[in-house]
Amino acid sequence: MSPRIGALFANIKQDFRGAILEFAGTFFFLTLAFGGVQATTSAGSGGQPSPNALNVLIASLNFGFGLLVSAWLFYRVTGGLFNPNVSLALFITGAIGPVRFVLYCIAQLSGAIAAAAVVLALSPGPCSYK
């Protein structure tokens, strides 16, 4: 292994630990956000969302409080990125390396898919997106 490739994987343990926690943080954030939105929309007329200002405000607050709690829990370990776009920006500016960037993106996308699946499985009745 060349010294340049070895330098890429020098902090692989910390990168994997950060990716696992980034998965957990993204999962936690989006489970709170999606669950709140699903509870708001399914409480109305047969699972169909009604586009009024109160539902938009509630959905915004669900995402805001979900991000607040998740960032407060995970920011010291992973930085609380929870978004591949933020990871890309940090990679472009040189704040994180390419290995950590790839692992974080995989973890964030996997956490989002898992959160959506859990909320879908826990929600009663028909899906509101059909």
pLDDT at 7: 78
Say how many C-beta atoms besides its own lie within 10 A of residue 28's C-beta: 18
Q: What whole-number distance in Å separates Cα of residue 72 and Cα of residue 89? A: 21
Where is pLDDT greater, at 2 or 39? 39
- Provide mean pLDDT across the span 26-48: 81
46-62 pLDDT per residue, tens: 556 567 888 889 889 99
Sequence-ordered alpha helix ranges (H) in the chain = 3-8, 12-42, 53-78, 84-93, 98-122
Q: Kindly provide the b/e burial profile for residues 53-90, where b requires at least 16 CB atoms within 10 angstroms of the residue's own CB.
A: eebeeebeebbeebbeebbeebeeebbbbbbbeebeeb
Indicate the range of 21-25, 37-41, 57-61 predicted with least confidence: 37-41
- Provide mean pLDDT across the span 106-130: 86
pTM of the entire structure? 0.85
Evaluate whether the domain defined by 12-122 bears CATH number 3.40.50.80: no
Q: Which two tokens stand for residue 95?
A: 């704040």
Indicate the domain borders of the chain.
Answer: 12-122
Q: What whole-number distance in Å separates Cα of residue 20 and Cα of residue 111? A: 9
